A and B are shown apart, each in its own frame.
Chain A
Amino acid sequence: MIPIRLMFALFGTTLLMIVFGFGISTDVNNLTFAVLDRDQTPDSRAYLEELRGSPYFVEKPPLADYADIDRRLKNGEINASIEIPPNFGQDIKRGQPAWVSAWIDGAMPFRAETIRSYLQGMHQLYLNDPAVKTTHAAPPPPADIEVRFKYNQDFDSVFAMVPSTLAMMLALFPAILMALAVVREKELGSITNLYVTPVTRLEFLIGKQLPYVGVALINFVVMFLLAIFVFGVPLKGSFLALLAGTIIYVFTTTGYGMLISTFCSTQIAALFGTAILTILPAQQFSGMMTPVSSLSGTAQIIGLGFPMSYYRPISVGVFTKGLGFSDVGPSILTLIVFIPVLTAISLVLLRKQER
Chain B
Amino acid sequence: MRSLSNIFWLGTKELRSFFSDWVLLGFVIYSFSLAVISQAQSNSQELYHASLGIVDEDHSELSRRITHAFLMPYFKQPVAIAPADVEPLMNAGKYTFIIDIPPNFQRDVLAGRQPGLQIDVDATAMVQAGLGSGYAEQIVNNEISTFLSKTEATPSSPVNLAVRIAFNPNVMTAWFTSVMGIISSVTMLAIVLAGAALVREREHGTMDHLLVMPLSPLEIAMSKIWANGLVIAAAVGLSLYLIVRLLLKIPIAGSIPLFMLGAILYLFFATAIGLFLGTVARSMPQLGLLYMLVAVPMNVLSGNATPLESMPRWLAIAMQVSPSTHFVSFAQAILYRGAGLGVVWPQFIAVAAIALLFLILSLLRFRSALSSASS
Contact = CB atoms under 8 A, between A and B. Distances in A.
Interface of A: 4-5, 8-9, 12, 15-16, 19-20, 22-31, 47, 73-76, 79, 92, 95, 97-114, 116-117, 119-121, 123, 126-127, 134-136, 139-153, 155, 157, 159-161, 172-173, 176-177, 180-181, 184, 187-188, 263-269, 271-273, 275-277, 279-280, 283-285, 287, 289-291, 293-300, 302, 313, 316-317, 320-321, 323, 327, 330
A316 B124 contact: yes
27 contacts: A9-B289, A30-B309, A74-B333, A74-B337, A76-B337, A97-B160, A106-B168, A108-B307, A109-B172, A116-B163, A136-B158, A144-B115, A145-B118, A146-B117, A148-B119, A148-B120, A150-B120, A181-B285, A187-B203, A263-B23, A267-B284, A268-B284, A271-B192, A290-B43, A295-B43, A321-B91, A321-B124
Contact of B144 (A99, A142, A283): A142
A101 B23 contact: no
Nearest to A27: B310
B267 interface: no
Interface in B120-179: 120-131, 133-138, 140-141, 144-145, 148, 154-169, 171-173, 175-177
A34 to B, nearest CB: 14
B119 A146 contact: yes
Contact of B39 (A150, A269, A280): A280
B332 to A, nearest CB: 4
B293 A16 contact: yes
A29 B313 CA distance: 11
B332 A107 contact: yes
5 closest A-B pairs by CB: A106-B168, A152-B123, A109-B45, A149-B123, A269-B24
B250 interface: no
Nearest to A135: B158
A158 B296 CA distance: 19
Given A74-B338, A134-B158, A327-B92, A293 B124 contact: no
B65 interface: no
Contact of B27 (A29, A161, A269): A269
Contacts of B343: 74-75
Interface string B311-343: 110010001000000000100110011110001
Interface residues of B, number: 130
A145 B300 contact: no
A323 to B, nearest CB: 6
B77 interface: no
A142 B167 contact: no
B282 to A, nearest CB: 9
Contacts of A141: 114, 141
Q: Is the interface of A mostly helix, strand, loop or mixed?
A: helix
Contacts of B192: 268, 271-272, 275
Interface of B: 21, 23-24, 27-28, 30-31, 34-35, 37-39, 41-51, 76, 88, 90-93, 96, 105, 109, 112, 114-131, 133-138, 140-141, 144-145, 148, 154-169, 171-173, 175-177, 181, 184-185, 188-189, 192-193, 196-197, 200, 203, 283-293, 295-297, 299-301, 303, 305-307, 309-312, 315, 319, 329, 332-333, 336-339, 343
A153 B123 CA distance: 8
A284 B128 CA distance: 14
B46 A25 contact: no
Given A8-B286, A294-B50, 17 more contacts: A47-B159, A97-B156, A100-B159, A102-B162, A104-B164, A107-B332, A112-B165, A116-B163, A143-B140, A145-B140, A150-B120, A273-B23, A279-B184, A290-B125, A298-B37, A320-B124, A321-B91
Given A142-B148, A265-B23, A271-B284, A119 B129 contact: no
Contact of B121 (A28, A74, A147): A147
A152 to B, nearest CB: 4
B329 A146 contact: no
B171 A272 contact: no
Given A74-B338, A112-B171, A290 B185 contact: no
Contacts of B332: 76, 107-108
Contacts of A112: 165, 168, 171
B245 to A, nearest CB: 18
Given A109-B175, A294-B48, A188 B203 contact: yes
A136 B49 CA distance: 38
B116 A289 contact: no
Contact of A144 (B47, B117, B126): B117
Given A284-B44, A323-B91, A151 B124 contact: yes
A285 B283 CA distance: 31
Contacts of B128: 290-291, 294
Contact of B184 (A74, A160, A280): A280
Contacts of B184: 279-280
A49 to B, nearest CB: 13
A145 B309 CA distance: 31
B284 A184 contact: yes
Contacts of A279: 184, 188, 296, 299-300
A104 B217 CA distance: 49
B292 A172 contact: yes
Nearest to B140: A145
A280 B35 contact: yes
A176 B161 contact: no
Contacts of B289: 5, 8-9, 12, 176-177
